[in-house]
Chains A and B, each alone.
Chain A
């Protein structure tokens, strides 16, 4: 079975579960995804499956290499791709190019991990970016939201990776162990408890949780 699918974040809403509890959920559109390439040890040096997501109508919105790659196997025009690595695919591993995978590989009550890019926040100081405390605001203090010390006199120089101001957000983040509350299979939408990275329409990768499974 395939490990995960590509999808889209739609936004958040409130959902009442069967016990009457109001929970905040993220609505996620998942799939349908198509297998676009299968990489094997002989041809590529490793085992992997490439899946594509988000059908588009106009051919002019894709570049020629991708269009050629898809047309080789008569696949629909897809926008986003993701490779899923397999360390040791067994003999029963029966996935072929052109196979379609839908939301029904997930079940209600299962746990998932969601990977996506966070919202970009631009150039930010250390208080927002790393949660530094900052200095006192009054009593003659002239250090309000400054960094403070960036190192000792010995070793000389600044150690690599020291937390400083800089670009924040717009980088990959995985949120683990999110529970699937509800699946609307004919709409390809599922409701996931809690927040997921990125803004609306953000492309995300959803896989079964590595660390947690349904009881």
Chain B
């Protein structure tokens, strides 16, 4: 990549205080949702199963079981729709061995 692009990318990343979390952690995300003129908050909580990319391209995948059905959502870390991220359980407490991608959880259900 061109050094000027790298410098620019570092500069335009919005400064947010998001806690450091790893795949395996159980997290709770409060998402801003706009319905017409109104704005409200929605909570999505589950296990982070993957983190991908760097800088503005960074995303993480959260999986939860909703009414017996597995649901996955991919969020960009720097999205303005993410209000807050709370760590409910670390991967140590979850008894999940440190692994970068936890896609095997999909078949474990």
Contacts and interface: CB of A to CB of B under 8 A. Distances in A.
Partners in one complex: yes
B8 A16 contact: no
B5 A13 contact: yes
Nearest to B3: A10
A22 B59 CA distance: 12
Contacts of A27: 2, 4-5, 8
Contact of B79 (A22, A200, A201): A22
Contact of A200 (B2, B55, B56): B2
A10 B4 contact: yes
Interface residues of B, number: 16
B2 A184 contact: no
Chain A binding surface SS class: strand
Which of B1, B2, B76, B79 has the largest count of A CB atoms less than 10 A from its CB?
A: B2
Given A16-B14, A20-B79, A11 B5 contact: yes
Interface string B1-31: 1101100110010100000000000000000
Interface of B: 1-2, 4-5, 8-9, 12, 14, 55-57, 76, 78-81
17 contacts: A10-B5, A11-B1, A12-B5, A13-B5, A13-B55, A13-B57, A14-B56, A15-B12, A16-B56, A16-B78, A29-B4, A187-B4, A187-B8, A189-B4, A200-B1, A200-B2, A201-B2
What are the nearest 5 A-B pairs in CB distance? A14-B56, A20-B80, A11-B5, A10-B2, A11-B2
Interface of A: 10-16, 20, 22, 27, 29, 184, 187, 189, 200-201
